[in-house]
Structure 1
Amino acid sequence: MNALRIPAFRRLWVGLGLSSLGDWLGLLALTAMANQLADGYAEKNYAIAGVLFLRVLPAIVFGPLAGYVADRVDRRTVLVWGDYVRGALFLTIPLVGTLWWVFVVTVLVEIVSLLWLPAKDATVPNLVPRHLLEQANQISIATTYGSAVPAAVLFALLTALDRVVPALMGWLDRGAVDVALYVNGLSFIVSGIVIARLTGIPSGPAAHADEGSVWRVIGNGWSYVLRTPVVRALVLGMAGAFAAGGVVVGLARTHVADLGAGDSGYGVLFGAVFVGMGTGLWRGPRLLARLSRRRVFGVALTGAGLLLVPLALVPHLEVVAALAVGVGFLAGAAWVTGMTLLGLEVPDELRGRTFAFVATLVRLVLALVLAVAPLVAGLIGVVRFGPVDATGQSLFEYRGAALTMLVAAVGMTVVGVLAYRRMNDDEGRSLVSDLGQALPQGLLDRAAGRYAPLGVFIALEGGEGAGKSTQARQLKDWLQAEGYDVVLTREPGDTAIGQQLRRIVLDPATGTMSDRTEALLYAADKAEHVDRVVAPALERGAVVVTDRYVDSTLAYQGAGRDLADAEVERIARWATDDLRPHLTVLLDLEPATGMGRFEERDRIEAESLEFHQRVRAMFLRLAAAQPEHYLVVDAGASVTEIADRVRERVTPLLEQAVRSGGTRTLRATGPEEPR
């Protein structure tokens, strides 16, 4: 399912696109107007620099307050009125027409944007199911930065039209610039109108809580970031990436000149970085789907730092441009992965403050780096070493820009390694082995799977004696009491053919069989199960609860029988037509404890303790790789405690499905005959 098919997110996306278009168009128009209003070459440069500096300054001063507002004020109110206020401010600029008012509006608009962006970022995880959050973040980030292109085209067309037909805009004091500002203001107002029609934006849990004073609320949010290892590693990693990126951006023009290229070379390098970044935002997580998101974040940061080393040292523009694509790709993958992890890891009541903290820190780091990097490069000057030829030239000669980039590369690599070590959630699994299977056909490539457009699909998994059947019945009874159309099923054996296959694979009288034969028999049961039971129920909008699914095949026939992971998954994919559960509940239990819960054992239960330990390890690996798809529960807890946790996780999934027009309650629609 595509995130844009969800009406609430689609409407927010339209508002975001209009706001982002206005933001980029506003930047172009404000700098152009500052240039027109200032006198003299130096004054014009100072005026433009003033606009750019004032876009960064508010984040340092008002950034902490932005997080407070995002978590304490109704988010829909912030989004709607934030757009209205920004639109009104831009509309006043052509009317006042002075440089000082341009500066004032720049500051005010940035303050409002600081409130608007965390509210938007904190809202997205509430509008889409967890398995679509990464896709939603990709769409949001691509829209935010991609709208710079149509904004630039629109501004260029307006200015060209003003030159060709001066009478068309001659009634305005500044012609095309004033028109751009009016269009800009209207884009924000239209965005506000679009979002105002969106009624499904949660206000935020903290909006009605009492945590004390403003500064205490802000302090609680920042304290959470600093004391939570995973979140702290995410925030520092993202700040480190922006620091290194700021060095490259700040020194790119000088570095290109040092390589003997001019403005065209600068354009090539600049474009290469953003081509790579756009590709990384969209394809990076899918390419690295073999790894858990926590590993992807550290690996992408480290890889970007390592690629920066040859980028700084190789004196050939063609190679530098190619490396810049790679750096941009890994940086884009790290950024979207970090944003997704923050949305998944941070509680909703702290999400606004956390995103505001990230925005403040990133802007502060970026501002400092952009100011300091050229100074450091200038202080380094030219460094020569190695043998000297007959003309007196050293074999190696590097200028300050390249060496400053080299320092940034080392720093980014260190940050990436530290983030990886802090966030590595699969220490027992070799990173080299995982990277070797990182291609889309490898294990855990969830991106290629499909999710039912209607209905909700929930699988319960776990080792022997974990209580899956009990929890499946508990969940079915609760769902039916809530008015949902529920289908409770199991694997293997919930079809006529499946019952015969179940007897073959589980009856001890069957004796030994080839491991591949066993895997194929289970795959045959899955194919019949999906075609006859699961898919028809999902198509009519039912909630399907299955006791075991694909993960059991990967765990038992893959890890347990020690068959090749990728081969077992390919069989399971084909058998189930790539149909994935929206949520998998993993009931985790020590194998020795689970095996002690019953006396008679079937053919699989009778396997050795080592076999079942390998099975458990695989279940946990699968859950760690895609945490948004899983709920891992300690199966040693009471039946009631486990059922409560499952309901808590399933509830928002059901609510989202109802909002998107999929699953529906029978209370509202009345009973429906099965198709």
Structure 2
Amino acid sequence: MRLFALRDYRHLFAAQVIALFGTGLTTVALGLLAYDLAGPRAGLVLGTALTIKMVMYVVIAPLAAAYVDRLPRRTFLVLLDVVRGAVVLALPLITEVWHVYVLIGLMQAASAAFTPTFQAVIPDIVTDRSAYTRALSASQVASTMESLLSPVLAAVALAFMSFDLLFLGTSAGFLLSAALVLSARVPQARPSAETRAWDRATAGIRTFLRTPRLRGVMALNLVVAAAGSIVVVNTVTHVRTGLGGSQSDVAWMLAASGGGTLLAALALPRVLGRVSARTVMMTGAAVLVGGTTAAVTLLTAGLLTWAGTAVVWSAIGVGMALVITPTGGVLRGSVAPEAVPGAFAAQFSLSHLAWLITYPVAGWLGTEAGFAPAWSTLALLAGAGAVAALLLWPRHEGREAVTAPVSPALTAPRTDRSTLTEAA
């Protein structure tokens, strides 16, 4: 079955991609807004806003997954897009920091509910099993490409406009996403008992806890979050205050990390055909630990210049790709076919839980105590996660060969051996 020949899936996938890029561009613009409101304390504001985001994802996403079968799903998805579009439209109008927290909480609650609802709709539209697996892959690739391209698109846009106009564009994107959802036929779900719904939502987490390689993936989530938080939270303050850069420079430095991820993602398909996913992911963890350690060392020595920052940020991007890209294949190789959606839902929640731990360190500690103590703490967390992954994921568990696509062109019928790629 040709996946993108299905009109309803094609429209829903386009809606998801547009919403993903809207969220990514909003994150870049939010960092600049935080700097406008708080100056050098922007890291504190951004760290708090992103912590609120993670709380919403960790708490609301499982609840939405448990009870989405009781809702009119198309109407619900449209409502979530409209809410996000309205919030983004209001962001450039605010004048107080606490307004950011309220609006971001509302927006991320909508985003946290959108993903599991979208995932629950797909199997009702894509009924062929192999096509459904490719649909999961396409969704995951879209998440990866958003994390890579959003900073680049933001940098280009900021060369011609202020960040408040960037908010306006992303708001229009969410409304376009809502229109695409409206144009698709979304079947109503058959309601199930509350207990069974909750059991279904938590089944993936129970699988993670009892499967050695998935426990290793949980530990690697912490490594990715520890290193990634330095880039996501502290780039705006470091570039604007530490390096004296412009708004566009912030986006380009974020793009340096995304470029590292892209280069690694392009190289990985050949590597994963010959090397185990465990080896690749542990190598990525080592790169991330090295990247965070280098950031602390260069900062302390006063050598974290434009060039030094770009190199370290790019290395962190490479490490994140090495860990994240094979994750989908590891998940699919660890559970029965019918349990794949639950495993991906669990990874969604557990990965965001790791970011919930690291965002406050980067934002709050980085503002109150300085980058050196914050980044040192994050480097220790990354190291602890890497060691835990080595211990939790036995070497003999990682011998499966995995291949990974780096393009969402997944429509050709084939034996399903591909993995998913992911980002945040």
TM-score by length of 2: 0.70
Whole-angstrom distance in 1 between the partners of 2:251 and 2:329? 31
Which residue of structure 1 lines up, in the alignment, with residue 19 of structure 2?
Answer: 19
Match of residue 197 from structure 1? 183
Q: Pick from 210, 215, 220: which aligns with 2:193?
A: 210
Partner of 1:330 in structure 2?
A: 319
| Structure whose residues are more often helix by fraction | 2
Specify the structure having the higher radius of gyration (Cα). Answer: 1
> Identical aligned pairs, as a percentage?
23
Structure 2 distance, partners of 1:402, 1:231, is 27
Q: Compute the displacement of 1:234 (Å).
A: 1.8
SS at match of 2:105: helix
Give the aligned partner of residue 61 of structure 2: 66
Q: Give the Cα–Cα distance (whole angstroms) in 2 for the partners of residues 266 and 277 of structure 1.
A: 17
Note the C-alpha offset of 1:10: 4.2
Per the alignment, in what secondary structure is the counterpart of residue 147 of structure 1?
Answer: helix
How far apart are 1:140 and its partner, in Å? Answer: 3.1
The one-letter amino acid paired with 2:20 is S
For each residue in 1:265-322, what CA deviation from the matched residue of structure 2 results, as whole angstroms up to 9, or x when unmatched?
A: 9988755432111222343244332134354333432454356556655776667755
Partner residue, 1:141 = 144
1:35 to 1:582, Cα distance in 2 relative to 1, 3 A: closer
Paired with 1:367 and 1:215, the residues of 2 have a C-alpha distance of: 28
The 5-angstrom pairing of residues 476-625 of structure 1 reads: 582=415
Match of 2:384 in 1: 411
Query: Residues 350-429 of structure 1 correspond to what in structure 2 (within 5 A)?
Result: 350-351=342-343, 353-371=345-363, 374=366, 407=380, 410-418=383-391, 420-421=393-394, 424-426=397-399
Task: Give the deviation of 1:109 after TM superposition.
Answer: 0.8
- Whether contact under 8 Å (2:56, 2:105) holds in the other structure is no
- The aligned counterpart of 2:225 is 242
Aligned residue identity for 1:246: S
Q: CA RMSD in A?
A: 4.9
**Helix, strand or coil at the partner of 2:160:** helix
C-alpha offsets along residues 370-396 of structure 1, whole Å, 9 cap, x if unaligned? 1476489759xxxxxxxxxxxxxxxxx
Could you tell me which amino acid in structure 1 is paired with residue 22 of structure 2? G
Give 1:113 shift: 0.9
| Matching of residues 453-492 of structure 1 within 5 Å | none
Cα distance between partner residues in 2 of 1:413 and 1:118: 29
- CA separation of 1:452/1:230 partners in 2, compared to 1, >3 Å: closer, same or farther? closer
Amino acid at match of 2:18: L
C-alpha separation in 1, matches of 2:181 and 2:14? 8
Superposed displacement of residue 114, structure 1:
1.2
CA contact (8 A) 2:66 2:197 kept: no
Q: Distance in 1 between matches of 2:310 and 2:47?
A: 27
Alpha-carbon offset, residue 87 of structure 1: 2.1
* Aligned residues of 2:58 and 2:349 also touching (Cα < 8 A): yes
2:215 corresponds to 1:232:
yes
Report whether the alignment pairs 1:281 with 2:265.
yes
Q: Report the Cα offset of residue 108 of structure 1.
A: 0.7
Stretch moving more, 111-120 or 299-308 = 299-308
Q: Any residues of structure 2 matched to 1:654-665 within 5 Å, and which?
A: none
Determine helix, strand or coil for the equivalent of 2:112.
helix
CA distance in 2, matches of 1:255, 1:90: 25
Please give the secondary structure, in 2, of the residue aligned with 1:157: coil
Unaligned runs of 5+ in 1: 160-175, 380-398, 428-433, 435-443, 457-580, 584-625, 629-675
Contact residue 86 and residue 188 of structure 1 kept, 8 A: yes
Q: Structure 2: state its 5+ residue gaps.
A: 420-424
Distance 2:355 2:34 in 1: 23
1:227-283 deviations in Å (ceiling 9; x for gaps): 3333332223122321233256667799999xx977599988755432111222343
CA distance in 2, matches of 1:332, 1:226: 24
Which protein has the bigger strand share? 1
Determine the C-alpha separation between the residues in 1 that align with 2:43 and 2:373.
Answer: 26
Measure, in 1, the Cα distance between the counterparts of 2:209 and 2:101: 34
